[in-house]
Amino acid sequence: MKEKVKLLDDSLLRDRAYVGGEWIQAVSGATFDVVNPATGELIGKAPHMAAVDVEHAIIQAEAAFGEWSARTAKEREAPLKEWARLIVANASDLAAILTLEQGKPLSDAKNEVLFAASFVEWFAEEAKRTYGEVIPGSRRNVTYVAIKEPVGVAAGITPWNLPCAMVTRKAAPALAAGCTMVLKPAEHTPFSALALCVLAERAGIPRGVLNVVTADRPAAEEIGRTLTSSHAVGKLSFTGSTAVGKRLAAQCADTMKRVSLELGGNSPFIVFADADLDVAVSSAVFAKFRNAGQTCIAPNRFLIDASVHDEFVKRMIAAIGELSLGDGFEPGVTLGPLISEDAVQKVERHVADALARGAKLLVGGKRADRKGNFFLPTLMTGISPEMAMSCEETFGPVMGLATFTSEDELLQRANGTRLGLASYMFSRDAARIHRTSRALQAGIVGVNTGAIATEVAPFGGFKESGIGREGARQGIDEFMETKFICEAFPG
């Protein structure tokens, strides 16, 4: 590792992949560079794996499946609970690794690590509640039983924006259900996933049950194809962009693999005239600027009742002024870098497009004048539906406001997208909350709050934002098949 971060336990930072309980290089011996997005400095090199390495990992996961799936839920619970405990115990080191490769402020990274642990704890316990059913027979002398069984080897592909939580949100339910897993983290953030493997190994999760293969983007397609075409893999759980999700779903059709897809969003953030504006502003800051705007549930379209627009703008400018941009390791920093130069260019494109089409810039609007992939927190007004930032995820610290004057107009705007992950609404009118929360076409509706992700509630999208749910009791079902046993007792 070139750029050293002070860890309490250096052994958490690994530059090998974890397959079949071994820490290994790629068969080719190739590696790829992982850089710190705040400084551009090299952090280290990770194995650049290919199809042959993934095939090996699938074989290891298949070999481990028999013993692991034969365990009772309680027997699987013990090592999973220990994994959760170790994640919490090592939270400051995991957070430092996360900030180093992903950039988010250290305190946010710590919160993500605890969020990651919460999935492991939740699913360790939930495995005991994967109930089946005994169904009243429609004939005499028969018993109808529906039971749940693990789907087998599961594949996971995760993004860089939540490098710990997206790994455990897949691995924890898969393992708790009795599946084994081969997971590929994003090229930008392999070290967080590997550090989680160190702790899984220490927790006593048997070899081959969790396998992590690493590679950079040029190999992602080959790795995806190997996972999706394998007959040994029963399920793909993917989190990432809608474009890649669609491609992977099509590939899975050939082997009729089960799929869960957590894809992109284009979330509306709605402020009605009767909203508590202070709550709306603080929730907007949290939901939009957390992780520098790089979350799938980040509000992307701010729709503000015209009668409170100017007051909302005034309070928002003040709130943005409190943000502190910098390297996530610097004390007091609340806004880190974007993940890459490409990400900065996308944000620049959205801002330029909006300004060219008549938006007004009030705050920010350009790169920060410092090294690294930093973009200033930005506020614009006069956003219209045809602008790029209304149609695509900006995935950056840019707020663009539009106004509405009636509920009908609002709902048309809010639902006028093929995506439907999250939505947010702020109002103190109970009838309006009831009506609007049901009319919004989204998998998640935050009412008077920007904090909508939790391990105990189902997370997932409508329309092209995906298929399936993560977290909650639904999250473990995604890794299980239902088997109907029809038992007849002649005589």
Cβ distance to ligand NAP smaller for residue 305 or 470 = 470
SS3 303: strand
Evaluate whether 25 touches 67 at the Cβ level (below 8 Å). no
In the complex, least distance from residue 70 CB atom to ligand NAP, rounded to whole angstroms = 31
Cβ distance to ligand NAP smaller for residue 51 or 147 = 51
Cβ distance to ligand NAP smaller for residue 85 or 463 = 463
Nearest to 18 by CA among 167, 143, 219: 167
Nearest to 66 by CA among 152, 167, 159, 155: 152
First-to-last alpha carbon distance for the chain, in angstroms, is: 72
In the complex, least distance from residue 268 CB atom to ligand NAP, rounded to whole angstroms = 15
Burial 295-312 (b: 16+ CB within 10 A, else e): bbbbbbbbbbbeebbeeb
Catalytic residue (choose from 101, 126, 262, 393): 262
Residue keyed to tokens 């995760």: 158
- H/E stretch holding 342 reads helix 341-356
Residue keyed to tokens 């996360």: 98
d(CA 321, CA 304): 20
Burial 268-289 (b: 16+ CB within 10 A, else e): bbbbbbebebeebbebbbebbb
Q: Where are the alpha helices (DSSP H) in 450-490?
A: 472-477
Evaluate whether 93 touches 14 at the Cβ level (below 8 Å). no
Side-chain-side CA neighbours of 20 within 13 Å: the count stands at 12
Cβ distance to ligand NAP smaller for residue 171 or 421 = 421
Read off the tokens for 370.
């410092």
Nearest to 155 by CA among 87, 216, 232, 84: 232
Cβ distance to ligand NAP smaller for residue 119 or 312 = 119
**What residue type is assigned to position 396 of the chain?**
G
DSSP 2: -
In the complex, least distance from residue 307 CB atom to ligand NAP, rounded to whole angstroms = 32
In the complex, least distance from residue 221 CB atom to ligand NAP, rounded to whole angstroms = 4
DSSP 276: -
In 10 A of CB 430, how many CB atoms? 8
d(CA 296, CA 288): 10
d(CA 69, CA 234): 14
d(CA 491, CA 489): 6
Q: Is 22 marked active-site? A: no
Cβ distance to ligand NAP smaller for residue 248 or 252 = 248
Cβ distance to ligand NAP smaller for residue 296 or 347 = 296
Query: Which residues bind to ligand NAP, rule: CB under 6 A?
Result: 157-162, 166, 184, 186-187, 216-217, 220-221, 224, 239-241, 244, 247-248, 262-265, 296, 393, 421, 461, 466
d(CA 381, CA 400): 6
Cβ distance to ligand NAP smaller for residue 151 or 162 = 162
Cβ distance to ligand NAP smaller for residue 209 or 419 = 419
Q: Where are the alpha helices (DSSP H) in 203-230?
A: 217-229
Read off the tokens for 291.
């992780």
Residue keyed to tokens 């957390």: 290
Catalytic residue list:
262
